[in-house]
Amino acid sequence: MKPSIPKGTRDFLPEQMSRRNYIFDTIKDVFLLYGFEQIETPAMETMQTLMGKYGEEGDKLLFRIQNSGEKASEAPEKGLRYDLTVPFARLVAQYRNDIHFPFKRFQIQPVWRADRPQKGRYREFYQCDVDIIGTNSLIAEMELIHIVEDVYHRFGINVVLKLNNRKILAGIAEYIGEPNRLIDITTAIDKTDKIGEEKVNAELIERGLSESAVQCLQPILRLSGSNRSKLCKLRELLAGSQTGLQGVQETEEIFDLCDASGADLNIELDLTLARGLNYYTGAIFEVKALDVEMGSITGGGRYDNLTGVFGMSGVSGVGISFGADRIYDVLTELDLFPADSLKGTQVLFASFGEEELKYALSCAASVRANGIRTEVYPEPAKIKKQMAYADAKHIPFVAIVGSEEIQNNTVTLKNMITGEQRQLPLQQLVETLKS
């Protein structure tokens, strides 16, 4: 039997795992700095919780779990988590009496989708979601923008944050005379990046928009100038749409708050930004890396009624999700993983024989007591083999123990990068390794 794993899933070996941990830890540190708290939900949810939340296509992509040895009547159908948003909404509704609002939560867990696997698309992948729920305040949007700034600053990735507002898009739909076609419009223009303007227009016609509406639409989406001047023009164009004006107002306030709080992120009001998901009702965001070709690496927006379907209405929230896999690819492509994101064992003890090995064990214990990550090669193998092990694990120092070292109460410390080696008394070993 040839060992293998299901299509679209992955194993993470130590080197990848260290890099992934660097990503998760960096993101988590920033979330905590802003007062967000971590939660976890089960991998399985009832099908009742999952079904109908992700559109018809999404329903088909849910992984279902077979009931095992239970009667269907006592065990509701179950499926694997498809995203972190719906379980979060379920949790908020379920524990509404235990939660203190505004609730600032983050969640870093895998999700599963029965998508056809292809390059960069997996059936199991992690999401890193951060949401503030239970406030209408646009300070929440501002805070997420600061989080994006801080996270990508720490990664050293230059990004642009594209901002839009579903209410502005609704206003534009009214303006072009198609007030009931908002979803058709957002679904189509969301593809502009991928298929281009012409094909988007063709799709809009196909979806039943009038020729004149489509002709009217594109010049608005392509409004040029600074963010503030775009807002000015929109305020004129959307004068007849209360919703549209509210969207303009909200966007302006977000820019004001960002200025007041000293945000230094490259933000662009992009009217073609639509976000596929239909639960967004206000600001929407998407982040792209500037120095590399890659889709959106972070995205999200405001939703006004995510918990309504779970019996808790009138609760507004806003959230974003960081795409760990794409961030991994960007960091790899731009060679931005810091050297110490791989930091593992700092010193390996290698010994020439059984006696030396015992001596090494007691040395290692005292080195380790100083918080230094320490290994002892567990067999008196050939020194060459022990060195190869240190090399393979990128261990920077090897402490070699032979009979001479035991006699002198020393070790011979070899720097695996420079090749330099010298005999050291034990007391000096810890100091040398610490510096």
Site for a copy of itself in 89-108 (CB under 8 A): 90-91, 93-95, 98-100, 102, 104-105
Name which of 398, 400, 416 is nearest 348 in CA terms.
398
| Pair 287, 301: CB distance under 8 Å | no
Q: Around Cβ 197, how many Cβ atoms within 10 Å?
A: 13
Specify the stretch interacting with a copy of itself by CB under 8 A; choose among 214-222, 278-286, 290-298, 387-395.
387-395
The answer to the question of residue 121 lying near a copy of itself (CB under 8 A) is no
Structural contact between residues 89 and 8, judged by C-beta atoms closer than 8 angstroms: no
Residue 264 CA to residue 299 CA, distance in Å, equals: 18
Decide if residue 17 touches a copy of itself (CB under 8 A).
Answer: yes
Position of tokens 């979803």?
183
Rounded to a whole number of angstroms, the minimum distance from the CB of residue 14 to a copy of itself is: 4
383 binds a copy of itself (CB under 8 A): no
Comparison of 97 and 224: residue with beta carbon closer to a copy of itself: 97
- Comparing CB distances to a copy of itself, the nearer of 212 and 261 is 261
Q: Rounded distance, CA 340 to CA 434, Å? A: 15
- 68 part of the interface to a copy of itself, by CB under 8 A: yes
- Per CB under 8 A, the segment of 72-80, 224-232, 281-289, 399-407 that binds a copy of itself is 72-80
- Does residue number 409 form part of the binding site for a copy of itself (CB under 8 A)? no
Name the residue nearer to a copy of itself (CB basis): 84 or 170: 84
Sorted by sequence, the CB contacts under 8 Å of residue 54 that are 6+ apart come out as 61, 62, 82, 83, 86
Which two tokens mark 100?
Answer: 């203190």
**Residues numbered 139-198 forming contacts with a copy of itself, rule: CB under 8 A:** 139-140, 142-143, 146
Nearer to a copy of itself, 322 or 349 (CB): 349
Q: Specify the residue, 61 or 294, whose C-beta has the smaller distance to a copy of itself.
A: 61
Q: Which residues contact 4 (CB under 8 A, 6 or more apart)?
A: none
* Among the listed residues 24, 58, 124, 421, the single contact to a copy of itself using CB under 8 A: 124
The residue among 223 and 426 lying less far from a copy of itself, judged by its C-beta, is 426
Smallest distance from a copy of itself to CB 207, Å: 26
Exactly one of 27, 172, 173, 376 binds a copy of itself (CB under 8 A); that residue is: 376
**What is the rounded radius of gyration, in angstroms, for the C-alpha atoms of the chain?**
28
Report how many residues bind a copy of itself under the rule CB under 8 A.
Answer: 99
Q: Note whether 274 and 200 are within 8 A (CB).
A: no
User: Cβ 227 to a copy of itself, closest distance in Å?
Assistant: 20
Complex with a copy of itself: residue 203 or 355, whichever CB lies closer: 355
Q: Binding to a copy of itself (CB under 8 A): which residues in 320-359? A: 344-345, 348, 357-358
d(Cα 97, Cα 312) in Å, to the nearest integer?
A: 11
SS3 state at 376: strand
Q: Which of residues 306-325 bind a copy of itself (CB under 8 A)?
A: 309-311
Sign of CA dihedral 258, 264, 269, 275: negative
Binding mask 223-242 for a copy of itself (x = CB under 8 A): --------------------
Q: Measured from the CB of residue 220, what is the shortest distance to a copy of itself in angstroms?
A: 32
Separation CA 386–CA 375 (nearest Å):
11
- DSSP letter at 293 equals -
The reply to whether 379 sits near a copy of itself by the rule CB under 8 A is: yes
Q: How many CB atoms lie within 10 A of CB 256?
A: 12
User: Binding to a copy of itself (CB under 8 A): which residues in 280-309?
Assistant: 309
Helices assigned H by DSSP within 176-317: 182-189, 192-195, 197-206, 211-221, 227-237, 242-260
Q: Which residue has the tokens 């070993």?
A: 429
Dihedral sign for Cα 209, 213, 218, 220, please. Answer: negative
Q: Considering the rule CB under 8 A, would residue 14 count as an interface residue with a copy of itself?
A: yes
Residue 22 contacts residue 336 (beta carbons within 8 Å): no
Ranges within 48-67 binding a copy of itself (CB under 8 A): 48-49, 60-66
Q: Counting contacts by CB under 8 A, is residue 44 touching a copy of itself?
A: yes
The CB-of-53 to a copy of itself minimum distance in angstroms stands at 12
Binding of residue 119 to a copy of itself (CB under 8 A) = no
In the bound state with a copy of itself, the residue whose beta carbon lies nearer, of 60 and 422, is: 60
User: Can residue 132 be called a binding residue for a copy of itself (CB under 8 A)?
Assistant: yes
Bridge partners, residue 414, by sequence: 398, 421
> Is 11 one of the binding residues for a copy of itself (CB under 8 A)?
yes
